[in-house]
Amino acid sequence: MDESKKTLYSAVQPTNNLTIGNYLGAIKNWVALQENYNCFFAIADMHAITVRQTPAELRQKTLSLAALYIACGVNPEKCTLYVQSHVSAHARLCWVLNTFAYVGEMERMTQFKDKSAKHADNINMGLMDYPVLMAADILLYQAEVVPVGHDQKQHLEIARDIARRFNNAYSPTFTVPEGVFMKVGAKIGDLLDPTKKMSKSAENAGGSIFLSDDKDTVIRKFKRAVTDSGSEIKYDPENKAGVSNLLSIYSLFTNKSVAEAEREFSGRGYGEFKLAVGEAVADKLAPLQKEQARLLADKEYLNGVLKVGAENASRTADRTLNKVHKKIGFYQI
């Protein structure tokens, strides 16, 4: 690792298909961040099993996500790319940190309440303990920087609280991480309800553009996208949420400013506008999909990347875990 660079940690679950919101808000940003930070990028399969998964699908989606990371520009030569469950220190540190987390604060987590309502037949301890495992993920690598969406802000605050509690009890051990709230791509709305964030687990998949969608599907979904009353193509999130959302997407996929996009579509109709946005997105997704398919055909290469990534991650994680075990009094041989 480059000691002159700060350490950054981020992860995505290998569940459902990722949307363009996930790409713009997370993975695309990682490509730029890996140039300036010591980056640890994980495939969070341990977090994924808080909701029941089909084992064969989880394995397939884990490898598929690794291929997608690389297809999008995440470079294993410039960062540590690994699968969370391949580094045992995550679970081992989580157990220790559980003794610094309180039931009341876990029960107050918005995501725990939301998921408990959605999965009322499976309110397991993993759902409640999710933020403690996330704290372990971050603190293991002494991450100074964590890029997060606003929906994860509570979890980052818990990680910071737990780090401070441990440090106060046993002397400085963990770096207290700072959140970086990504502005680019952070607020991509659902195409059918632009007041809501585009989600990979939305009940109606018609409002989400998945990175695996083919061109016909992308165009069809954009044609059905909600616009607004009136005919002006103008960025006004408060009064024209649908059009503003489409302008944001077009801007991000064409590297044009919103103002440039407004001028480009001045005097043109919504139908023509929506088709142009769909084509811009589809044209960007096609090469990503092609490269992901090429990588998936080379399983030996992907396995090698993940093996090296797990070894590199384990070296850093084990140093932190050994320090923690020593401080809390575990007998070591």
Q: Is residue 197 part of a domain?
A: no
139/226 same-domain check: no
Q: What is the CATH number of the domain that holds 253?
A: 1.10.240.10
Q: What are phi and psi of 184, to 5 degrees?
A: -70, 120
170/268 same-domain check: no
Which one-letter DSSP state was computed for residue 205? G
Beta-ladder partners of 210: 19
270/315 same-domain check: no
Q: Is residue 190 part of a domain?
A: no
Query: Domain range holding 11?
Result: 7-181+299-328
253/140 same-domain check: no
pLDDT along the chain (333 residues), means of 10: 88 87 87 94 94 93 95 96 98 97 82 70 80 96 89 85 97 94 71 87 83 94 89 88 93 91 91 95 95 97 98 98 97 90
**Tokens representing residue 1 in the block:** 């690792």
| Catalytic-residue membership of 221 | no
C-alpha torsion sign, points 99, 102, 107, 111: negative
| Catalytic-residue membership of 197 | yes
Strands (E), the chain: 7-12, 38-43, 80-83, 145-148, 178-181
CA distance readout (Å), 118 to 123, 129, 136, 265, 284: 9, 17, 26, 40, 33
pLDDT score, position 116? 67
Q: Is residue 164 part of a domain?
A: yes
Q: Of the listed 5, 6, 78, 200, which one is catalytic?
A: 200
177/319 same-domain check: yes
174/240 same-domain check: no
**Tokens representing residue 163 in the block:** 């780090």
pLDDT score, position 178? 93
Total number of domains constituting the chain: 2
| Catalytic-residue membership of 200 | yes
Burial of 23 (0-12, 13-18, 19+ CB in 10 A): buried
Q: Is residue 259 part of a domain?
A: yes
pLDDT score, position 28? 86
Q: Of the listed 115, 187, 221, 274, which one is catalytic?
A: 115
Q: Of the listed 197, 221, 240, 274, which one is catalytic?
A: 197
217/250 same-domain check: yes
Q: What is the CATH number of the domain that holds 104?
A: 3.40.50.620
243/315 same-domain check: no
